[in-house]
């Protein structure tokens, strides 16, 4: 199973699904930390703790936008050659 961050970044789920993942983590904690379960880096998790959902969503949306731009660039470069 992929984690929350992976699924959110590829557009398979809405950001609000983080709450379902957190609830699932509470039910099935097998020694895995919440940040690891969600797929978050230490920095992203700290941002989430300090700034809440909106801060983390902004960070992940920026990552999603950057990845999309990079992918588009690579596709354009491939087809121009």
User: What are 17-30's pLDDT values in tens digits?
Assistant: 999 999 999 998 67
Whole-structure pTM value: 0.79
Judge whether 64 and 9 are in contact, CB under 8 Å. Answer: yes
Mean pLDDT of the chain: 87
**HSE of 79, CA atoms in CB hemisphere, 13 A:** 5
45-75 b/e with 16+ CB inside 10 Å = b?
bebbeeeeeeebbebbeeeeeeeeeeeeeee
């Amino acid at each position: 199973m992929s984690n929350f961050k992976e699924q959110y970044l590829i557009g398979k789920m809405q950001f609000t699904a983080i709450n379902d993942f957190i609830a699932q983590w509470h039910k099935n904690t097998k020694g895995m930390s919440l940040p690891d379960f969600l797929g978050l880096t230490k920095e992203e998790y700290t941002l989430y703790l300090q700034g809440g959902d909106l801060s983390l969503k902004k960070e992940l949306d920026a990552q999603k936008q950057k990845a999309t731009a990079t992918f588009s660039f690579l596709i354009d470069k491939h087809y121009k050659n």
